[in-house]
Structure 1
Amino acid sequence: MSRKGHTAEFKRTVLDAYENQGYSLSEIQRKYGVHDTTLVYWRKIVDKYGVEGLKGTSHNKTYTKEMKLAAISDYLSGNYSQRDVIEKHGISSTSVLRKWMKDYNGHREIKGQSEGMSRSMTKGRKTTWQERIEIVQDALANHKDYHKTAIANQVSYQQVYQWVRKYETGGWDALKDRRGRSKTEKELSPEEKMKLEIRRIEKENERLRAENAFFKKVRGDRKGAVITRVRLENRYLAIQQLYEEENFSIMLLCEIAKVARASYYKWLNRTPTDEDKLNETLLEEMENLHQKVNGIYGYRRMTMNLERQFDRPFNHKRIYRLMNIAGIQAVIRRKKKRYSKSTPQHVADNLLNRDFTASKPNEKWVTDVTEFKYGMSKKAYLSAILDLFDGSIVSYKICTSNNNPLVFDTLKQALETSSDAKPLIHSDRGYQYTSPGFKYLIDNAGMKHSMSRVGRCIDNGPMESFWGTLKCEKYYLHQKDYHTYEALVEAIEEYIQFYNYERYQKRLNSLSPMEYRAKAA
């Protein structure tokens, strides 16, 4: 039997059996079906309010917002049980307290109740358009005191509140009663049907756009990262950003995100906790330390330094998580990526066969891709084509990705510079050179393709020699100066210009490659 089914007479009978007839708690439970905690609660009611307290109340009790929050705070402190809390604050039952806790944990607003407001919200009445206008004017004149206005005009609190909202949104016409029978589809004119269809399509498109944008944000396209531990914060951040950038409806975004609108606003107005503030401070210190040691610290050594600096222990997983959020990573002993072996789509024989001499320009070309590092362990890639006749760089391309377009654009640039040339071009067996796209470019230009043997880098010796010269004479001497991609590109372009036009070579009769090429022409 539930608590609400127990009459005052039944309660007195059970208490009498326990106190005067010598029944134990277990016997009371078996005979009357009453739990021992319930029996103890009834005894406390009698001690506090007398026998009349067992009758309960015939109407719902009202509680203020402050009292609800005080009860929730007491329970969350861990010093009180649910029974202790309801006895301390005079709450009718533990189920009422549990409902408040559920609302609080669900980020719903804790609202208070008052007897005066409950009287003004009991029942509304029918009103005319003119009456609604006068009531709204009265509410605005009283600084939106809905309670006072409702009592003065004998309407409900909710009616006054809704009328004021409608007036602020749509003016006085919004207060008209537009209720009534809607037209059936047969009664609609073609223009009305068209308007309804357009409105439906617009709403559907708006929702599809919002869904597409929202899930992109949640998947990680959103800039910035979460350093707090608030549940569903990724969704709240996505809603906030889409509302500010795309002007989507908050209600629509909350529906897509499957979160309550009140929960979103509670998160929006939340005060950062001490742990959130500490995370912000840790991020600043980690970035400073990362710069100070030139990026050689991983999360373990970073944890040790922060523990000494703040004089308190930190979990290494927390430091690891914050480093990932800030994009901080050690530049030494990084885990190497494992690449799966792939079968080349196009393979050519070693037609060059280490014959690195040429009798005329554009007879034999060699090509390759090399890697450079700049900034904090960022990478750039240089693709170049070298003419074996004079050792000049025919064309080159620099990019932040080692992909097919890098190699293809280098070859296209060389063919544009020497449109009539049909040389033998030699490369290694990199995936760009074995791709169908590179083979198509070569066949289309009427060129022959030669490839190095597997594990024989000396088969492409002249190109490897140029990489060594470039890095020794330029890159390694000023490596610390290349903080940005632009600085690195400028240095490479400057050296290739110097190499082609100003760097004299003994094997070229003390001429630069371009001078030697010009004399041959």
Structure 2
Amino acid sequence: MPKPYPEEFRRDVVEVARKGQAPLRQVAKDFGISEGCLHNWLKQADIDDGARPAITASESAELRELRKRNKQLEQENEILRRAAAFFARGAAPKMKFPLVLDLAADGIPVAVTCRALGFTTQAFYKWKKSPVSHRDWDNAHLINAAYDIHHDDPAFGYRFIADELTDRGIGAGENRVHRLCSQQRLWSVFARRRGLNRAAGPPVHDDLVCREFTAQAPDQLWLTDITEHRTSEGKLYLCAIKDCFSNRIVGYSIDNRMTAALAVSALQNAVALRAPAATIVHSDRGSQFRSREYLHALSVNGLQGSMGRVGACGDNAAMESFFALLQRNVLDRQHWTTRTELRLAIITWIERTYHRRRRQRRLGRLTPVEFETINQPALAA
């Protein structure tokens, strides 16, 4: 595209042509321009001088500037309107750059969008070259792992999640885990912070027991629950499984953490000892019994789950009565110094005293082991 002639040169040519000392063709030839170009310059000069009615050059330039400014204002208005709708969806401030791409596809220049949204074009093009930073990539993997851990055991807060991430080979500080879990609203079901939904989770099973804690045969109905007790080293948790036919504890597991693995371990121990078939396993609505690991253990072993209501201790009263008996006879008898000391005391009382020495009137003044031994031939017959 040829460059425009300087304004001073145009004025000089027009001045020479207006004197009329030579024909316009000769003037154009002398100055090296076409005759049509000279006619146009003379016409525009007459308009600028007011000799001919039309838009002057200054007015034309001003009009072009106003049109340009009007177009720019329309673009900025569209940017702000689209940005309000974009951020209303909850997009983080650092995610303005995808909006720039959307607006650029609609014909709005990148420079205008960046100026209206308050950041530089260099920052946009740097993001465009690498949309996902290594930090964001690592955070995404960390959040996925945290979701898996929390789904397995909803009782886990960010501290337990940070510990589990370390065991899985994912290095992350506790503050970073807390920040990401807060962003994703991953909190323990036991959290008591303002504004959190503290309602109990939905039941994963129906109540198949309805407070009828009786069974006509062994391994027909099991009850399970978790209890805790303090020691000088910290808390110790016991998950026990009770057979309603003989009141025998058919499986238990003891650990210093109340996780889904505790309930799964107790269930697996009971299955290994009794080999049940189509047994109903009744529990409360604790997070350990609603976890994915526990539900998988029930399904794999062919067991049927059952759950009571929230805040209704009577829905699992038979299991609560066993824990009350354990509380009086073992847990509250003395102050326990170590977890190992309390663990041995619990195991000894269950296996030696409760199973083989303590007679129960509901069993005809027999111990659970005696009651099963006597009734097994009759049931087999």
Measured against the shorter chain, the TM-score band is: 0.3 to 0.5
TM-score in terms of structure 1 length: 0.34
Give the structure, 1 or 2, with the largest relative contact order (CA under 8 Å, sep 6 or more). Answer: 2
TM-score in terms of structure 2 length: 0.46
